[in-house]
Amino acid sequence: MQHSLKTIFPNFSNELITTIEENGSLQDFEAGTILMRTGQYIKNTVLIIKGKIKIYREGEDGGEFLMYYLQPGQACAISMICTAKSEKSQIMAKVVEDATVMMIPLQLMDKWMMEHRSWYEFVIETYRSRFEEVLEVVDNIAFRSMDERLEFYLKRHSDACGCSEVNLSHQEIATELNTSREVVSRLLKKMEQRGLVKLNRNQIELLNFNH
Amino acid sequence: MQHSLKTIFPNFSNELITTIEENGSLQDFEAGTILMRTGQYIKNTVLIIKGKIKIYREGEDGGEFLMYYLQPGQACAISMICTAKSEKSQIMAKVVEDATVMMIPLQLMDKWMMEHRSWYEFVIETYRSRFEEVLEVVDNIAFRSMDERLEFYLKRHSDACGCSEVNLSHQEIATELNTSREVVSRLLKKMEQRGLVKLNRNQIELLNFNH
DNA sequence: TTAGGTCTGTGATAAATGTTACTGTAGGAT
DNA sequence: ATCCTACAGTAACATTTATCACAGACCTAA
């Protein structure tokens, strides 16, 4: 196997790894693919092996309000929760960097909860961390103004990729924050004047982001 | 036992009910009591037997941004998620109507997942429904303007209590929506002019709310 | 090189929301 | 009745965010 499951999911027991390899199906998706749509029934739990997947809420006007990103070693909490009841998805999932994922049929996801302690713990931890992340999002839109939200957004991005450059256009950022490009441009300009960022085309360098 | 667990939690198996009665501790709280604070470690899972508990996010300025209400037959998803890891709470829980709750120590909550199918299903369903509710909250603040949010807020209240009167002051509503009383007063007045509500002191009657 | 696209910057203006200040009213306590 | 307090209404103004309009910069393909 090209990508070792054991490396990406270090907490999984060996038997669990074997079971996943036997029963899951490994699939590749190109950037831009929509893995899950609002209102769609979910049939699989998704483990991320490679790439990056954006989980967002779609507005009527085409807004793509960012909830969080999924990276290797993570799983989609929504798909886990919904599969358990075979419910409709309430969110959208889009591949933003070419991805490899492990699809696990819903019956197994449920069955393993009882059989594999490490699976159970993984699922619970996934619920917890995603719930927390969504709560933080609520905090931001409920209590903070756009400039603070933008700073938080940039920080999340740099934390996620581990680098200090964010390669996005102002329009893309605006879409994910559900505001307009002009507002983002203006706020970024102010941040540049404060020495927080350096602006290039399609790229924002974060400078003193340790406050 | 004064309140029959079996009536309030009809899906629990008989053995589970017995186990809960043996191991849980029944406690009463007066309206106004804070059951859980942001940053506090959680030691128990809470099942609601009677009353109403408000789950909210606290702003720095004292805002009490409403996430959802817990009613009899429900449980606090956050406490379940956090107990599983013995993590800090990210939210506040306040009793808004005198409540009776069953406290379940964290080790048992975890143990029962393996031993009682009906407990497992209850926990999963709790996660799912709360996650969904929070997603709906995100939807509202991300995509809707204050007048729509206010309508949604009132509808949620009347749905929750099953009646068409909401007995809250404008100030209380404003606090939960993280806006100011003046804004709420203005918007309610407009709604009254549109024939959607009738305004009384400390009470809002919903009229044609079936749209 | 030129043409056409995307990305960015910025002013002018509009709309929504927040803030301040003040008024009146209802109800409870004395 | 009188006083006090919480609640509600509303005008004027400030601030934030959204929208419209347009110009210049950069990139790529022909």
In tens, the pLDDT along B73-84 reads 999 988 887 666
- Whole-number pLDDT of residue B210: 61
Q: Which residues are bridge partners to A166 per DSSP?
A: A204
- Whole-number pLDDT of residue A138: 96
Mean pLDDT, residues B44-70 taken together:
93
Domain boundary among A141, A164, A187: A141
Is residue B211 in some structural domain?
A: no
Residue A122's pLDDT band, with cuts at 50, 70 and 90, is: very high
Among candidate residues B108, B137, B139, the one with its CA nearest the CA of residue B123: B108
Domain boundary among B141, B157, B180: B141
Residues A119 and A167 in one domain: no
Is residue A211 in some structural domain?
A: no
Residues A28 and A119 in one domain: yes
- Whole-number pLDDT of residue B145: 96
Residue A210's pLDDT band, with cuts at 50, 70 and 90, is: low
Does residue B205 surpass a pLDDT of 90? yes
Cα-trace Rg, chain B? 19
- Whole-number pLDDT of residue B80: 80
Cα A14 to chain centroid, rounded: 26
Residue of B121, B132, B133, B177 to mutate when probing chain A, most A C-beta within 10 A: B132
Domains contained in chain B, number? 2
Average pLDDT, chain A: 91
Domain boundary among B93, B117, B141: B141
Residues B37 and B128 in one domain: yes
> Does A135 contact B at CB distance below 8 Å?
yes
Residues with CB under 7 A from strand D: A 145-147, 178-180, 182-183, 201; B 169-171, 181-182, 185-186, 188-189, 199, 201-203
List all residues of chain B from 70 to 109 with a beta carbon under 8 Å from chain A.
Answer: 77-78, 81-82, 84-85, 87, 90-91
Residue in chain A nearest B176 by alpha carbon = A142
The separation between the first and the last C-alpha atoms of chain B, rounded to the nearest angstrom, is: 43
Is residue B187 in some structural domain?
A: yes
Mean pLDDT, residues B52-76 taken together:
93
Q: Which domain holds residue A123?
A: 5-141
Does this model's pTM top 0.85?
A: yes
Residues B175 and B129 in one domain: no
> Does A148 contact B at CB distance below 8 Å?
no
Find out whether B80 and B43 touch, Cβ atoms under 8 Å. Answer: no
Q: pLDDT: is B109 or A186 the higher one?
A: A186
Residues A157 and A124 in one domain: no
Residues B34 and B87 in one domain: yes
Find out whether A75 and A122 touch, Cβ atoms under 8 Å. Answer: yes
Find out whether A50 and A68 touch, Cβ atoms under 8 Å. Answer: no
Mean pLDDT, residues A201-211 taken together:
84
Is residue B137 in some structural domain?
A: yes
Residues A160 and A67 in one domain: no
